[in-house]
Amino acid sequence: MRRALDAVRKVVVLGGDGYIGWPLALDQSAKGHEVLIIDNCCRRRTDEELSANPLRQLGSPTDRTNRWQSLTGKTIEWADIDVADDPVGLRAALLEFRPDVVFHLAEQRSAPYSMLTENHRLETISRNTRGTHNVLLAVRALAKCHLIHVGSLGVYGYSTKPWEMPDGYLTVHIDTGGTAGTVSAEIMHPFEPVSIYHLSKCLDAQLFEYYARTERMQITDIHQGVVWGSETPETRRHPGLATRIDVDDVYGTVVNRLLHQAARGEPLTVYGTGEQTRGFVGLVDVIHGLELSVRNPPPVGHRTRIRNQVAETLSINELAHSVAAVSGARITHIDNPRSEPVQNTLAVSHHASDALGFEPSRLTERISEEFTAMAEAVRDKHQEGVSNDRYAR
Ligand SMILES: NC(=O)c1ccc[n+]([C@@H]2O[C@H](COP(=O)([O-])OP(=O)(O)OC[C@H]3O[C@@H](n4cnc5c(N)ncnc54)[C@H](O)[C@@H]3O)[C@@H](O)[C@H]2O)c1
């Protein structure tokens, strides 16, 4: 029988050493749930590959979970398993732990990284697609479990479309050319990935469609915007509980990259015209939204429940101007190193999120706090002299 929503649940966070996964694991543990993190820490090794210098040095997985336990008395378990390379280990870990919910965040998540070389393309497709399929097989082996994947709003592409990006499904009217006349159908919104990373998320979505339909698995796919912010109520409890902040040009998302430049007194480098529009959402709201998804699983036999998770859409110019307004930084435009439409408008449905009671903060209202937090992090780090933007050089 299904556990009551407020009862203690067993939760697996795949990718629980990452930017979102770690505070998600802390949040679930703080709520009293039993948490197992599965992560092989490959993201930490990528910092070495890229000679990237994340803003905070992270404690080892053991240091972090020990710190949490000493502060709260709560245990977070940890398993070092490669989700893409070790399907047997993954399945055994899930069968032993018997989770009610699996959050799948264990993927290569940078679009620029996926485009660096042919090897990075191969690695991104291989790791993300094999990983997701292994996760589906492992979750399928459980009697009942809700799989929640964090995908990207970017699967819809960034060309301007004269309609709102729906929560996954589009109603189309098809002229059959026969006696049936015009019929209506709901299909998955066509994909238009702009990077290999986004392409891997489209392939994930097709895998979810297959397993939800043929195996009656309960699957939620969050189509998420660019995430900003680095603190949650749990990470604020101790510096040893901090999550990572990436500010380099490969893994740093545009908000953290611009805030970091402003905090260091550097010009804000806007790629191209700055007329590219993206969806944004704060870290605290991402974690709250994932809890809302846990509480609202799709019924068994239902198609993948797809939900856009975005607080607002902004052009990069709007974002840069709001950072400049609180920091006094100068804005400079540089050649766009990315292959993407020069300009786009973007309207995103938030009907599915509204229906769950998702009320996210807007970055534009919180930019001053975010700038202060970044300036403090930069001050603590004393990393003057390390450029975060190879394209600006
Ligand atoms: N950060 C954002 O702005 C953003 C926006 C939209 C969607 N997302 C999605 O959310 C998810 C989490 O993003 P994040 O920013 O926390 O990324 P992250 O890189 O900080 O975390 C991912 C974690 O997964 C682990 N991992 C990756 N591949 C693995 C594997 N094969 N086996 C075991 N562990 C593995 C990494 O070590 C890392 O700790 C990703 O799937 C990403 O695509 C993130």
Pick from 115, 112, 149: which is nearest to 129 by CA? 149
Residue indicated by tokens 């408008």 = 345
Residue indicated by tokens 């709901």 = 186
Helix, strand, coil tally for the chain in percent (to 5): 40, 20, 40
What is the Å distance from ligand 1's center to 25 Cα?
A: 13
* Mean of pLDDT over the chain: 93
What is the Å distance from ligand 1's center to 18 Cα?
A: 6
Q: CA 64 to CA 78: how far, in whole Å?
A: 11
Looking at residue 2, its pLDDT comes to 47
Which DSSP helix (H) or strand (E) runs through 172? strand 169-175
What is the Å distance from ligand 1's center to 75 Cα?
A: 22
**Taking 80 as the threshold, does the pLDDT of residue 380 lie above it?**
yes
In the chain, the amino acid numbered 33 is H
> Which three-class secondary structure string do you get for 187-216?
EECCCCCCCHHHHHHHHHHHHHHHHHHHHC
| Protein residue closest via CA to atom 36 of ligand 1 | 43
Which DSSP helix (H) or strand (E) runs through 13? strand 10-14
The atom number, within ligand 1, closest to the CA of 222 reads 7
Pick from 246, 211, 212, 250: which is nearest to 227 by CA? 246
Residues with Cβ within 8 Å of residue 39, at least 6 apart in sequence? 13, 14, 15, 16, 17, 18, 21, 61, 78, 80, 106
Q: Do 62 and 255 form a contact (C-beta atoms < 8 A)?
A: no
User: Which of 24, 105, 194 for a ligand 1 pocket mutation test, highest count of atoms within 8 Å of Cβ?
Assistant: 105
Looking at residue 5, its pLDDT comes to 64
**Taking 50 as the threshold, does the pLDDT of residue 384 lie above it?**
no
CA distances from 6 to 31, 180, 194 (A): 9, 48, 40
- When pLDDT is cut at 50, 70 and 90, the band that residue 382 belongs to is low
| Protein residue closest via CA to atom 5 of ligand 1 | 226
Q: Do 106 and 150 form a contact (C-beta atoms < 8 A)?
A: no
Looking at residue 3, its pLDDT comes to 53
Residue that wins the pLDDT comparison between 116 and 54: 116
What is the Å distance from ligand 1's center to 46 Cα?
A: 12
**DSSP-assigned letter for residue 343:** B
What is the Å distance from ligand 1's center to 329 Cα?
A: 30
What is the Å distance from ligand 1's center to 177 Cα?
A: 46
DSSP character string of 208-243: HHHHHHHH--EEEEEEE-EEE----TTGGG-GGGPP
Digit-coded pLDDT (tens) for 6-21: 788 999 999 999 999 9
In the chain, the amino acid numbered 11 is V
**Taking 70 as the threshold, does the pLDDT of residue 254 lie above it?**
yes
The atom number, within ligand 1, closest to the CA of 82 reads 32
What domains lie within the chain, and their CATH numbers? 10-386 (3.40.50.720)
Looking at residue 393, its pLDDT comes to 27
Looking at residue 284, its pLDDT comes to 97
Looking at residue 341, its pLDDT comes to 83
**Ligand 1 binding residues, C-beta < 6 A:** 15, 17-21, 39-43, 82-84, 105-107, 109, 127, 131, 150, 152, 224, 226-227, 244, 253
Looking at residue 338, its pLDDT comes to 82
Looking at residue 57, its pLDDT comes to 85
Looking at residue 98, its pLDDT comes to 97
Residue 89 dihedral angles phi and psi, to the nearest 5° = -60, -40
**Taking 90 as the threshold, does the pLDDT of residue 54 lie above it?**
no
Strand partners, 270: 333
328 Rama class: left (phi>0) / alpha (psi -120 to 50) / beta: left
CA distances from 328 to 267, 268, 322, 331 (A): 10, 10, 10, 10
Q: CA 350 to CA 352: how far, in whole Å?
A: 6
The atom number, within ligand 1, closest to the CA of 131 reads 31
What is the Å distance from ligand 1's center to 108 Cα?
A: 6
| Protein residue closest via CA to atom 12 of ligand 1 | 105
Half-sphere exposure of 36 (CA within 13 A, CB side): 19
What is the Å distance from ligand 1's center to 149 Cα?
A: 11
- Of all residues in the chain, what percent carry a pLDDT higher than 90? 87
Q: CA 269 to CA 267: how far, in whole Å?
A: 6
| Protein residue closest via CA to atom 39 of ligand 1 | 18
The atom number, within ligand 1, closest to the CA of 224 reads 6
Digit-coded pLDDT (tens) for 138-186: 999 998 999 999 999 999 999 999 999 999 999 999 999 989 999 999 9
Q: CA 173 to CA 182: how far, in whole Å?
A: 6
What is the Å distance from ligand 1's center to 298 Cα?
A: 24
- Angle, helices 87-97 vs 118-140, to 10°: value is 40
Q: Which of 52-56, 156-160, 256-260, 279-283 has the lowest mean pLDDT?
A: 52-56
- When pLDDT is cut at 50, 70 and 90, the band that residue 53 belongs to is confident
**Alpha carbon of residue 17 to chain centroid:** 13
β pairing state of 277-282 and 312-315: antiparallel
User: Which of 36, 58, 109 for a ligand 1 pocket mutation test, highest count of atoms within 8 Å of Cβ?
Assistant: 109
Residue that wins the pLDDT comparison between 9 and 384: 9
Residues with Cβ within 8 Å of residue 73, at least 6 apart in sequence? none
Looking at residue 4, its pLDDT comes to 64
Looking at residue 342, its pLDDT comes to 85
Q: Which of 52-56, 79-83, 206-210, 315-319 has the lowest mean pLDDT?
A: 52-56
- When pLDDT is cut at 50, 70 and 90, the band that residue 337 belongs to is confident
Mean pLDDT value across residues 323-327? 97
β pairing state of 182-188 and 169-175: antiparallel
Looking at residue 112, its pLDDT comes to 94
Strand partners, 278: 314
Mean pLDDT value across residues 250-256? 93
Mean pLDDT value across residues 217-230? 96
Strand partners, 146: 101, 218
